[in-house]
Structure formats: C-alpha cells, structure tokens
C-alpha cells in the first residue's frame, strides 16, 4: 500500500527533483513532475506520494502535524504509524 507523507525540502536535486526529509529524518529524492508552480525552496513542506511531490503544505500546519507524528506511540526510525494517509 502506498501512502502520502509529509516531507520538508532540503535541497534541489536537478531540474525536476528535490531532496526531502521525511518526519522520521530519512532523506529521499523525489520528482517534481506532478507538482504545479515553481521549484520548492529548502524548508518548504510537500506531500509526497510514490516518489512524486503532489502538493505544497502550509509550514505551520506541516510542523504541527510532523510534531504530532513524531510524538505518537510507536513512531520513530524504522517504525510505521497506522491510521491512513496524511492530508
């Protein structure tokens, strides 16, 4: 099953990709081919699904959700949290 997750942009990775960090602190390279608008800047938050950035997220909202996910039971590196996709 694929889930959409929040990721914070770390740096560009070519003309159509960025390196992002997930809420567990792992870095990933994601494609921007499905994202409208300008290339996201470092620090911006994105919703990523199956390796593609699909939407931008308000920073304050993303920080609150990420903090909640990090503090939840059973959440941490190498562990999954149940409950479905993020908005």
First to last CA, the chain: 16
pLDDT recorded at residue 49 = 93
pLDDT digits (tens, 9 = 90+) for 7-41: 999 999 998 999 999 888 899 999 999 999 999 99
CA distance 60 to 50: 24
Residue ranges and CATH numbers for the domains of the chain are 4-71 (2.30.30.140)
At 73 the pLDDT is 62
Whats the size of the chain, residue-wise? 87
Q: Quick one: average pLDDT of 49-74?
A: 83
Residue 62 has pLDDT above 50, yes or no: yes
Band (64; pLDDT cuts 50, 70, 90): confident
Per-residue pLDDT tens for 38-56? 999 999 999 999 999 999 9
Closest CA to 52 of 16, 26, 10: 16
């Amino acid at each position: 099953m694929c889930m959409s997750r929040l990721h914070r942009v770390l740096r560009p990775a070519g003309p159509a990709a960025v390196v992002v960090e997930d809420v567990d602190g792992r870095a990933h390279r994601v494609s921007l081919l499905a994202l409208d608008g300008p290339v996201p800047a470092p620090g911006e938050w994105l919703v990523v699904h199956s390796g593609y950035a699909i939407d931008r997220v308000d920073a304050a909202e993303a920080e609150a959700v990420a903090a909640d996910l990090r503090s939840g039971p059973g959440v941490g590196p190498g562990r999954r949290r149940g409950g479905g996709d993020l908005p």
